[in-house]
Amino acid sequence: MILTVVEKELDGSAAETSLEGLTFARKLSAEGGGVPVDAVVFGEVGDDLRKDLAAYGVRTVYQVGGEAVAAYSGAGWASAILTVRQAAKSVVVMAPGSDRGMELMAHVAARAGVAMAANVLSFDGLSPFQVTRQVVGGAALEEMVLDQRPAVFTVAGHAVEAAPAESPGAADVVEHTPEVAAEDLVARVQSVEKLEAEEGSGLKSARVVVGAGRGAGGPDGFGDLEELTSLLGAALGVSRVVTAAGWRPHHEQVGQTGTRISPDLYIPCGISGAIQHWAGCSSAKTILAINTDAESPMVTRATYAVIGDLHEVVPAINEEIKRRRG
């Protein structure tokens, strides 16, 4: 059995990364002769979520609730996952490669005394169970053996494209109210301040992102970029150089230690494309780079490029957009 942690969006629907996780789990299931895929969800499973889980081939949905898991705690939630694992007799426990998925699987692996593979891209064989995962922000790959049970891993974002199953699962909901030891609840969330709309939340979900790097030249070099962002209804994302210099706040940073984006269009301006930045933007469908260096990694990896100084190119683009809009 394969147990997959499913995370919810604020509206109660399944997060895209979780649907990718279920798609990955089904591939693993098919390779293993069709072993069932089960899901574990913290909090209520609404009708729409249940339908989605059925469409993605889930056999049983373990809906975990109760006072002990009402507020998040890594150790407490992991202990609940392990009790579900026991009930479902799972030999694989996996989660999406989100911050929370990583944290939960690290707790699960530590408690079970097994290895964990973070950011898995693919599996190379079941006997022994061998996976390939991203390291160095995706700039290198590591083949790793998971020869203990349960095999614990997280799935890298966009490792597979989320796709419903050919035949739906039953998605029977089983309510589970775990008992959690007091010591596992010591590090528990006390309070949550909801994100302000402008504080980075738009960056992750933006359809278009305008990027700015060292080429902006300083904290005053973002005016034309902000205008382009506004004209396109886009979000502004910056490189680590920019936040390290204090030109822009960290919540705008795209990269390995910032936000990972996957827009339809990314327009990196004055960004050379260092590994840390590429780790955060490589999932963009189309990249249109603006850079003075035609040999920079960002230009050579882009779909389209303009060679030139962003301070000349971006104002000209803004004027052209305004001219066409009349």
Partner 1 sequence: MAANVLVCIKRVPDSSSEVVLTDDGQAVDGRFAGFTTSPHEECAVELAVQVTAAGGGQASVLTLGDAEAVEQLRNALAVGATAATLVQAEPSTFGPADVAREIAAVVRAHEAEGTSHDLILLGNDAADSGDFQVGIRLSYELGRPVVNGARTLSVEDDHVVARGEGPEGTETYRVPLPAIVTVREGGVEPRYPSVPGRMKAKKVAVEERTPSAEPSGAKRVRMTLPPPVPSNVQILGEGAAAAPAVVDILEELGVLAR
Q: Which residues ranging from 58 to 97 are in contact with partner 1 (CB under 8 A)? A: 72, 74-75
| 106 contributes a contact to partner 1 by CB under 8 A | yes
Q: How far is the CB of 59 from partner 1 (least distance, A)?
A: 26
Q: What is the DSSP string of 70-136?
A: TS--HHHHHHHHHHHHHHHT-SEEEEESSHHHHHHHHHHHHHHT--EEEEEEEEEEETTEEEEEEEG
Task: With contacts defined by CB under 8 A, name the span among 43-51, 107-115, 173-181, 215-223 that binds partner 1.
Answer: 107-115
Site size toward partner 1 (CB under 8 A) is 92
User: Cα separation of 5 and 19, whole Å?
Assistant: 10
Q: How far is the CB of 111 from partner 1 (least distance, A)?
A: 7
| Per CB under 8 A, 192 contacts partner 1 | yes
85 annotated as belonging to a binding site for a ligand: no
Output Rg (C-alpha) for the chain, integer angstroms: 22
Q: Is the Cβ of residue 47 or residue 182 nearer to partner 1 in the bound state?
A: 182
Q: Is 289 annotated as a binding residue?
A: no
Residues 127-186, interacting with partner 1 (CB under 8 A)? 130, 134-147, 154, 183, 186
Residues 96 and 144: their CA atoms lie apart, in Å, by: 18
304 binds partner 1 (CB under 8 A): yes
Site for partner 1 in 238-267 (CB under 8 A): 240, 243-244, 246, 250-251, 253, 256-258, 264-265
Task: Spell out the residues 6+ positions from residue 291 whose beta carbon is closer than 8 angstroms to its own.
Answer: 215, 268, 269, 270, 271, 272, 298, 299, 305, 306, 307, 308, 310
**Identity of the residue, 172 or 319, whose beta carbon is nearer to partner 1 in the bound complex:** 319
246: left (phi over 0), alpha (psi -120 to 50) or beta: left
Please identify which residue in 2, 109, 180, 235 interacts with partner 1, judged by CB under 8 A.
109
Tokens of 252: 């705008």
Which of 87, 275, 283, 293 is in the footprint of partner 1 by CB under 8 A? Answer: 275
Q: Output the CA–CA distances (angstroms, integers) from residue 264 to 30, 188, 191, 272, in the order listed.
A: 31, 37, 35, 20
Which residue type does 307 have?
I
| Residue 102 interacts with partner 1 (CB under 8 A): yes or no | yes
134 is in an annotated binding site: no
| Interactions with partner 1, residue window 305-324 (CB under 8 A) | 305-309, 312-313, 315-317, 319-321, 324
Cα–Cα distances (Å) from 135 to 126, 139, 166, 292, in that order, read: 21, 7, 32, 30
Residue closer to partner 1 by CB (options 3, 112) is 112
- Annotated ligand binding at 253? The verdict is yes
